[in-house]
Amino acid sequence: MKPTFTSNGYAKKSINPDTWAMLEIAHKEGIETVWDRLAKQQPQCGYCNLGTSCRICAMGPCRVDPFGEGPQKGVCGADADIIVARNLARTIAAGASSHSDHGRDILETFHRVGEGKTDIYKITDPDKLRRLAEEYGLATDGKNDQELTEELAWEMMEDYGMHRARLPLAKRAPLARQDIWDKTGTFPRGIDRENVEALHRTHMGVDNDWVNILLHAVRTSLSDGWGGSMIATELSDILFGVPTPKKSFVNLGVIKAEQVNIILHGHNPMLSEVIVAASQDPNLLALAKEKGAAGINLAGLCCTGNEVLMRKGIPMAGNHLMQELCIMTGAVEVMLVDYQCIMPAVTETARCFHTKVISTFDKAKFPGAEHISFDPARGLEIGRQIVRIAVENFTRRVPERVRIPVEPTPMMAGFSVEAILGALGGTPQPLVDAIVQGSIRGAVGVVGCNNPKFKQDLGHTELTKRLIENDILVLVTGCAAVADGKAGLMVPEAADKAGPGLRAVCKALGIPPVLHMGSCVDNTRILVLAAALANHLGVDISALPLAGAAPEWYSEKAVAIGTYVVASGIYTVLGMAPPIFGSPNVVKLLTEGLEGVFGATFAVEPDPNRAAVLIRRHIEGKRAGLGLTAIAPDDIAMPEAELALV
């Protein structure tokens, strides 16, 4: 048994014993962490927090002071509404671009498969390839997988340009939803087009109508959710397999003292899928033995971790705030990074240990890391090269500095839409029946990041617990999924923590009450499931008893996700607001005005117990709207605010 750690005063920072243990080590050894750097940034800029600072042009930088005596306009004349809207639109464009460019990278590899120019990648799910090709209107008869892959790849490349008036995958949404997008001029067109146009509109002196700016920001987010991210998910499934339920483990305990450890960090599964194959190479395993290691162990971090957990059952070392702490175990030979959410600080932490950080994408270099340029044509060769570096680095490890503080917690992952519908017998009807009978009140996507401004994982886990206790099925992705996994909420036995209705359904199906649906680009799986339910019932998504939540978000990608989720008709509660409070008009539009247009709004509530009540009231309201049994909102008491920002 590993020792039991107490919080040692770190309970304000995290709910997790592995985090406490590593923070203690960081403290003793003088290693800086994200929490130290956050403290050094205090006080953070009030104008930036309100969203009323602008540095878009060289007449600035400007700050406007909407609630005080200071300037009310920037040098160009932009007021708080324009500045806040422009900043928010740029944030959304950056998030949407990140997901969509990730999708493009997968698409380029998919295209290589079609051309036959790769040493490892192949079509793993030909049925899904054919389904998608048919959705794109391609004739599939008489074509082999390779021909079809090349043809579909060209079609999808058009999605990134401006050839199309409407993104084909957005047609998966119910017609009523598509109608709303048409009427509001937000139906997404080319993916790149929306993102470039967002930058154009927010240049000085272009779009100065703040509502018009925000409508385009919505369209940009939709080009992510029903475009770039959806392409990333669909093609990853075709190349690497549609996830199916599987058991694995989570927390720093998945790092193995006696083995060579490789941490797979970032978002793009292309290289990590290959590392999984390379780590089983008999020659490399023999070399590991020769170096004194018992084997080669892979563990994930962030969304690359989620991708290989969903498809291969590779264990998960942790979520966003664990990236530096992971290295401090002293047992990581290589941290392999692709892109997004990788703190530049990891190379600095690695310098205190024998760990090598290896970067792999030419668009994401890290000073202090070794760079091995990823090339899909030589994927397996590069994978073997990286595993060999890790194995050879094992002898540089300092055994006295190996500290793995906890035993791993079991968790289940792999709940793709296909897997969920499969478990239900191929149709959403049993889920619909459970919702109609009221044994399941509704479903909520709890998604998003860690942010050191929140006590790590408290928001995710408390919100999830309150929801399942009240018979609400929880779907998770990203770092939220890792949080719930660590808390033991993602094993079938966790059904005992659910209310009686949800518990019975989970027990009958042998599933947890919290279903891991994947990485952050895989939030599109939640959209597809919502669309399937809505289409099955012949209603719009906004009529369903659904909600979204991002309790501890930090990234621009999370803002893009929240926006496309709301614009798809799903009420979404954020743990903190993006920087918009400098414009009461923008706040009112996002938290009230969107209801009349998109049938959903944002809400902001840092306390997870209160957020749960907002969501339960919303779900019961939607149930009433569908004529189902519903609890009156006033019968769901709102607790006093208690748990909030650190």
Contact footprint for ligand BF8 (CB under 6 A): 267, 302-303, 319-320, 341, 448-449, 478-479, 519-520, 555, 557-558
Q: Return the number of the residue (74 or 448) whose C-beta is nearest ligand BF8.
A: 448
| Binding track over 169-208 against ligand SF4, x by CB under 6 A | -----------------------------------x----
Q: Strand 472-477 vs strand 514-518: parallel, antiparallel, or unpaired?
A: parallel
Residue 576 Cβ, how far from ligand SF4 at the closest point, in Å? 24
- Residue 92 CB, shortest distance to ligand SF4, in Å, is 18
Q: How big is the chain, counted in residues? A: 646
Nearer to ligand BF8, 441 or 486 (CB): 486
Peptide bond into 492 cis (omega under 30): no
Minimal distance, residue 435 CB to ligand SF4, in Å: 48
d(CA 345, CA 366): 9
Question: Is the CB of 206 or the CB of 398 nearer to ligand SF4?
Answer: 206
Shortest separation between residue 460's beta carbon and ligand BF8, angstroms: 10
Tokens found for residue 74? 């920037």
Strand order in the sheet with 260-266: 370-371, 356-359, 334-337, 260-266, 296-301, 316-318, 246-250, 409-413
Q: Which of 452, 582 has the CB closer to ligand BF8?
A: 452
Q: Shortest distance, CB of residue 61 to ligand SF4, whole angstroms?
A: 6
CA–chain centroid gap for 148, Å, is 30
| E strand or H helix that includes residue 167 | none
- Considering beta carbons, is residue 57 or 643 the nearer one to ligand SF4? 57
Residue 204 near which of ligand SF4, ligand BF8, none (CB within 5-8 Å, type-dependent): ligand SF4
Residue 60 touches which of ligand SF4, ligand BF8, none (Cβ within 5-8 Å per kind): ligand SF4
| 411 within 8 A of 248, measured Cβ to Cβ | yes
Q: How far is the CB of 86 from ligand SF4 (least distance, A)?
A: 8
Which member of 27, 49, 60, 492 binds ligand SF4 (CB under 6 A)?
60
Q: How far is the CB of 553 from ligand BF8 (least distance, A)?
A: 7
Spell out the long-range contacts of 375-378 with Cβ–Cβ below 8 A and sequence spacing 24 or more: 376/108, 376/109, 376/112, 376/118, 376/121, 376/270, 377/112, 377/117, 377/118, 377/119, 378/119
For ligand SF4, the closer of residues 200 and 396 by Cβ is 200
Buried b (16+ CB within 10 A) or exposed e, 335-362: bbbbbbbbbebbbbbbebbbbbbbbbbe
CA 367 – CA 346 distance, rounded (Å): 10
Q: Is 51 in the site for ligand SF4 (CB under 6 A)?
A: no
Q: What angle do CA 70, 73, 79 make, to 5 degrees?
A: 120
Q: Distance between the two ends of the chain, CA-based, in angstroms?
A: 32
Q: How far apart, in Å, are the Cα atoms of 123 and each of 111, 240, 241, 266, 391?
A: 11, 7, 8, 23, 30
- For the bound state, the minimum distance from the C-beta of residue 34 to ligand BF8, rounded and expressed in Å, comes to 11
Site for ligand SF4 in 62-81 (CB under 6 A): 62, 74-76, 78
Contacts with ligand SF4 by CB under 6 A lie at 54-57, 59-62, 74-76, 78, 83, 204
